[in-house]
Amino acid sequence: MNLNNGMRRFFACAPLLACAILAVMAQAVAQETPPPATPAPVSSPTLMDREYDGNLHIMAAPYVWAPTVGGSFQFTIPKLPRRAGGTRQTSVAVAPVDYLPKLNSAAMFAFDARKGDFDIFGDYVYVNATVSASASAILSGRFGRLQVPVSLSTSAHLRESIWEAAAGFTVARGHDADLSAFAGMREYPLSLGFDYTATIGRRHPFTRSGSVQTADIAQDVVFGLRGKAYFGDGHWFVPYYGDVGSGIGMLSNTTWQAYSGAGYAFNHGQSLIVLYRDLTYNSFAPISHVQKLSMYGPLLGYTFNL
């Protein structure tokens, strides 16, 4: 996992977001026609019109997001006999098939409250997982004359929660599409506990065990655009979202997030959505345990009007 991979994913998402935004602008311009000289028949309001009828609309959306999680992390390793400790950095990438069976608990949901052109929205992700693993290897000395067996057992406990809250204002709207600009804050507290036991040697083995604990918190101010465009019979739509942000406080970083996909709105006001979502953190401070972190993958959700 490196910065180049993150940028490639960002530019891969950018054309889809750009097409969605252009579709919104085109529909909004096409619908801004002069009033006719004679009264036209009154048509039924579209689903988009209902969202902007001046009443308060509150939406809640539980969802399931199964991203691939990858990043670069660094830890301080204690000293071993004849070998100094120090800081070590490693990169990992974990697919959903690897961590979903090991989940202890998880919760994911979003909400939105709109009245006219103003809206507030938020998002929350919580994951609690425990993973155990063991490995063995043979360390060879110079010219292969010395062979030392090494076994390592580990247990990692990960608790992470990501929340976001923002306020937006609609800058363009038609009967079937809208575009909003927003500003808000996203916080990512990451708690990782790593216990290990290493046994080195065969005849006179020695054992070293310990634990590594980290509790980093990334707080970012984010700015972006979001909205959706209805197509066809007015039930199918394309939602889109993109933001960029910068860290505040002691843990500096940069972040970006983007998603888009497809949705179907039912007559009773609820919707089913399928998205591809990418959330990336880069440029952490050198002292941070987390150096880079990316989460990208499919999302399935269902919206309810309250």
Give the tens place of pLDDT for each residue, 63-90: 999 988 887 777 665 554 444 445 556 6
Residue 168: which of 124, 219, 117, 123 has the closest Cα? 117
pLDDT at 84: 47
Global confidence as pTM: 0.74
Q: Note whether 300 and 109 are within 8 A (CB).
A: no
Give the rounded distance of the alpha carbon of 35 from its chain centre: 44
d(CA 181, CA 148): 61
pLDDT at 161: 87
Return the higher-pLDDT residue of 198 and 265. Answer: 265
| 158 pLDDT more than 90 | no
Phi, psi of 42 (to 5 degrees): -75, 120
Query: What would the pLDDT profile of 178-228 be if each residue is shown by its tens digit?
Result: 999 999 999 988 666 656 666 665 666 666 666 666 667 889 999 999 999
Return the higher-pLDDT residue of 305 and 131. Answer: 305
